Amino acid sequence: MIGIYPEDCNERWRFLRSTSHMGLFSAKALESCSRIRLEKAKEMLHFLGSKEGEVVNIADILFATTANTLTNAMLSQDIVESWNNIGEVKRKSRKMLGIVILSLADLYPAIGGLDFWIKQKAVEANQIYRAVWGDIVSKRRGGRQDSNQDILDVLIESSFDDYQIYNFLSELFPSSEAVSSVVEWAMIELTRNQEASSKLRDEIMTKDIEGTALSEKRLTKLPYLQACIKETLRLHPPDPILVPRCALQTCQIMNYRIPNNSLMIVNAYALGRDEKTWEDAQNFKPERFLGRNFDVKGPHYELLPFGGGRRMCPGQHWALTEIQLLLGSLVYAFDWLVPPGTDPESLDMSEKLIAITLKREKPLLLIPKMKNDVSQDWAEALGTKGF
């Protein structure tokens, strides 16, 4: 399979990794996609504003927002065309996620020739990928009317065939499910912890930090917001089991001999809840990160939501930028109430592993109550006169 994590790190792999980095994940790409993120977050708040006083499914709304943000950056179009067809797109996304589940042949290579399930999985993958991306790629091969260029144009111009493009897009797209899951978990924890929610609300509203309230540059300067994100990633890593690593040669790590071609799997979920490392490890306490130069992007091995080393998640900066914008926007624009008869402190925290992403078993249902008119904030952030 040609993609970000293929079996061999060949020239095609290097080109695809470079393409995703330059088109999505580099500092320049993040800056150039800022307007897309802001526009999609604005659309989310508009929709939530229209549902004021009603019970809304936060998980679905966040998924639609993150999915459309990513596909606009890759393909220059929404994949969730209306708020009414979120479920259909989410089902396709989860089918794509299901393709990457480890098979017996992954764990026991010697039986690879007998693992007929993996062959069936490959057939199903091609069918799913074609159903999701086929029409989009076909239309683009017919040419586009404007002069803008996105990642899909680069792949087509570089002579990738349809299935190589499908595989590439399908490895990137499910990350929208992971990002939306982190924001949903953060909203759950803040709903259950009103003291933390109040602190975050006060910080976002403060006038002590320069910049438009919801500008991405300003959000990165809010220490309590960043602490809430880190604490959510500690308790609820979107991918609790990191992408497996393969030992290219026999080596020794902490007195353990690792044979050549061994598959190494890291339990990020267990690292984040290790009682030996974290005081009161099972509880949501963003304060533990205040005043600490603690980076979730690899150097601190107590917390590895994006992995570490040369093969860490290439989309870490994109994910963190998107998470802070969506979480900051939701807290700034609305007060959030639980449905009648629900105790915030007793919200169900049951987890469910969907393919490789850790989700809440039941979607979060909340009632938005408009708190701040964000029209002026968005106008300033987008450099426009208004909506």
CATH of the domain at 48: 1.10.630.10
Q: Is the alpha carbon torsion for 79, 81, 84, 85 positive or negative?
A: negative
What is the rounded distance in angstroms from the CA atom of residue 34 to the CA atom of residue 38? 6
What is the rounded distance in angstroms from the CA atom of residue 171 to the CA atom of residue 70? 12
Report yes or no on 6 lying in a domain: no
Q: What's the total number of domains in the chain?
A: 1
Report yes or no on 148 lying in a domain: yes
Report yes or no on 23 lying in a domain: yes
Q: 174: how many CB neighbours lie within 10 A of its CB?
A: 23
What is the rounded distance in angstroms from the CA atom of residue 258 to the CA atom of residue 245? 12
The dihedral over CA atoms of 235, 241, 243, 247, expressed in degrees to the nearest 10, equals: 120
Task: Please give the average per-residue pLDDT across 212-218, as a whole number.
Answer: 84
Report yes or no on 104 lying in a domain: yes
Report yes or no on 387 lying in a domain: no
Q: What are phi and psi of 37, to 5 degrees?
A: -60, -45
Residue 297 pLDDT > 80: no
Tokens read off for 198:
């109040």
Q: Where are the extended beta strands (E) located within the chain?
A: 56-57, 245-246, 251-253, 256-258, 263-264, 334-337, 351-354, 357-360, 365-370
Q: State which of 18-32, 165-179, 199-213 shows the largest mean pLDDT.
A: 165-179
pTM given for the model:
0.89
Query: Among 70-84, 262-276, 292-306, where is mean pLDDT lowest?
Result: 292-306
Can you give the residue range of the structural domain that contains 61? 11-382
Report yes or no on 152 lying in a domain: yes
Supply the pLDDT for residue 296: 84
Report yes or no on 2 lying in a domain: no
Report yes or no on 248 lying in a domain: yes
